[in-house]
Amino acid sequence: MSAQPGDPGQPDPSPELDRLYADFERNSMAPLWTQTNDLMPLAPRPSAVPFVWRWSELLDIARRAGDLVPVGRGGERRAIGLANPGLAPTAYATPTLWCAIQWLGAFETAPEHRHAQNAFRFVVEGEGVWTVVNGDPVRMSRGDLLLTPGWNFHGHHNDTDQPMAWIDGLDVPFAHDMDLGFFEFGSERVTDEASPHVSRSERLWAHPGLTPLSSQEAQVATPLGAYRWEHTDAALREQLALEDEGHPATVEQGHAAIKYTNPTTGGDVLPTMRCEFHRLRAGTRTATRREVGSSVWQVFAGSGAVVMDGERREVVTGDLFVLPSWTAWSLEASDELDLFRFSDAPIVERLQFQRTYLPDTDRLFPGSRG
């Protein structure tokens, strides 16, 4: 796809040109005119590819890792990343996002550490592990989103005799490639081995529209450590019920969705990652969209399909798929379909690159950018 001799605007071959190009290289320089097409395409042309991972396979592999791979200081986490085939040899899901399945055996502990990278966990099945964030033990159960904003110490311990798996989402690729990360080891055991039903952060912050008067400053990441399934489920159910009653509530017909937010700002839970949950009524097909920025989805319940750049892939509970930037995508629900999503939308929006295109209706947002 690079410019070739003879392309419009390209220089004619000559010995002088060869010498010039050699001097570029010798001086650590490189011409723009041979690479504009690659570097600055008409629209994003991601190396990352749309891809689906099967939960059944991930889970099986993670279980085997549970038998073979220790967890402890030095091998901090038994996490296996989704490695986008277009981004090999890295283990990145997208250029910004890391997504891994993590496995913790009966009574095991993943030691405490902290890093500038932001992290969360989402639980598609199972229970029994507590993640301890800055000394606050947070129960992990099906449908819960658990937050670990950058530079908070955290470890995990399995309080039961059963293994548990979940997914981790981090901005590791972004922080790595932009050279933003810091890391520090903490306690070998979690600093609080209690296993309370609700964390202290929830007791302080999980009251709708109510915030502690002792903590009035906006915070860069959410102070709420857990977003529980019961609330997410209720919010989505109400949106669909309101739609049934004729009131605006859903994103589009048959498509309910919530954004997890930082209660101190009303914005995203993390400076770099947006987390959402979507519910589609059986039979719904969403409008096809292209968006700037990438995302990772996990089917939480139900079955259906995702169409990515025209290719239709069936998905069931636990399956994960990746949408690179500007991929045309839509979702189809065979039965009621629940999906968790995380994306790098805060990066895109805070740096003012946002753009959305709906090809079916030829609508572009924001209008002023097009």
Cβ-based nearer residue to a second copy, 18 or 314:
18
Distances (CA, A) of 195 to 161, 166, 190, 235, 363: 14, 18, 11, 27, 50
Residues 6+ positions from 322 with CB-CB distance below 8 Å: 48, 49, 50, 51, 82, 84, 93, 94, 99, 294, 295, 296, 297
Gap between the Cα atoms of 133 and 41, Å rounded: 42
SS3 145: strand
Burial class of 352 by CB neighbour count within 10 A (0 to 12, 13 to 18, 19+): exposed
Residue with tokens 């220089």: 11
Residue position matching structure tokens 């065979």: 334
With b for 16 or more beta-carbon neighbours within 10 A and e for fewer, the 79-116 pattern comes to bbbbbbebbeebbbbbbbbbbbbbbbbeebbbbbbbbe
Find where tokens 């000394």 sit. 135
Shortest CB 49 distance to a second copy, Å: 10
Residues 73, 111 contacting (CB under 8 angstroms): yes
CB of 161 or CB of 248, closer to a second copy: 248
Give the shortest CB-159-to-a second copy separation in angstroms: 19
Neighbouring C-beta atoms of residue 180, cutoff 10 Å: 13
Nearer to a second copy, 304 or 324 (CB): 324
Q: How far is the CB of 139 from a second copy (least distance, A)?
A: 16
Q: Tell the smallest beta-carbon distance from residue 266 to a second copy (Å).
A: 4
- Shortest spacing between CB 231 and a second copy, in angstroms: 5
Buried b / exposed e along 199-227 (16+ C-beta atoms within 10 A): bbbbebbbeeeeeeeeeeeeeebbbbbbb
Q: Provide the minimum distance between the beta carbon of 141 and a second copy in the complex, in angstroms, as a whole number.
A: 16
Return the number of the residue (105 or 181) whose C-beta is nearest a second copy: 181
Tell me the closest approach of the beta carbon of residue 164 to a second copy, in angstroms. Answer: 17
Considering beta carbons, is residue 216 or 361 the nearer one to a second copy? 216
Provide, rounded to whole angstroms, the least separation between the CB of residue 177 and a second copy: 5
Rank residues 231 and 281 by Cβ distance to a second copy and give the closer one.
Answer: 231
